[in-house]
Chains A and B, each alone.
Chain A
């Protein structure tokens, strides 16, 4: 039982490049989330998916798109990376609105 997995663990992009962060969970959870974490700030919600086939914007959605491919997988895409998107990205899933289970994170640097 792997829980929540994310790939890649680290990534360096040049400004303007695109990439997709992958997330998968094996706990059969309905809800999945993408957060970013920056120094001195709490985790901020980028997008979430309450169930397969639905996605909604969170607090900081600009510059990102998501796809809920199926119940297990929720991907985050940066179409044209900017230095302001340098951050640690966490994917999470939950069954109830209580405990969220997080993946190990992706450390992204945009130069």
Chain B
């Protein structure tokens, strides 16, 4: 089992749609959680951190469920510019600090 698993995708949605990405992690001692965005043939960039209480940044909402070891990202009112790959990232500190990236979920937003 992969340490961080994401929906396989790709997701194809029309502009204006709401889309949700899910991510599960296997190590219950994981400490911090993030969503990164990666455009085609570009480097990953931090989209938002994920807090236990849930957090929102404009059209983006991230949630964490520690009991189920599950992270989600909700994008409301999708724009063409949201088309990208979304990476779930988990930091662990068991036997040494480690950052683990999910394989990513590709999103295509169409007009």
Contact = CB atoms under 8 A, between A and B. Distances in A.
A90 B43 contact: yes
A39 to B, nearest CB: 9
Tell me the dominant secondary structure on chain A's binding face: loop
Contacts of B4: 42
Sort chain B's interface into a size bin: 20 to 34
A43 B101 contact: yes
Tell me the dominant secondary structure on chain B's binding face: strand
B24 to A, nearest CB: 13
B42 A42 contact: no
Given A40-B103, A42-B102, A97 B44 contact: no
Contact of A42 (B34, B46, B97, B104): B104
B103 A100 contact: no
Sort chain A's interface into a size bin: 10 to 19
Interface of B: 4, 32, 34, 42-46, 49, 87, 91, 96-104
11 contacts: A41-B103, A42-B102, A43-B44, A56-B96, A97-B32, A97-B97, A97-B99, A99-B46, A102-B43, A102-B45, A105-B42
Interface of A: 33, 35, 40-45, 56, 90, 97-100, 102-105
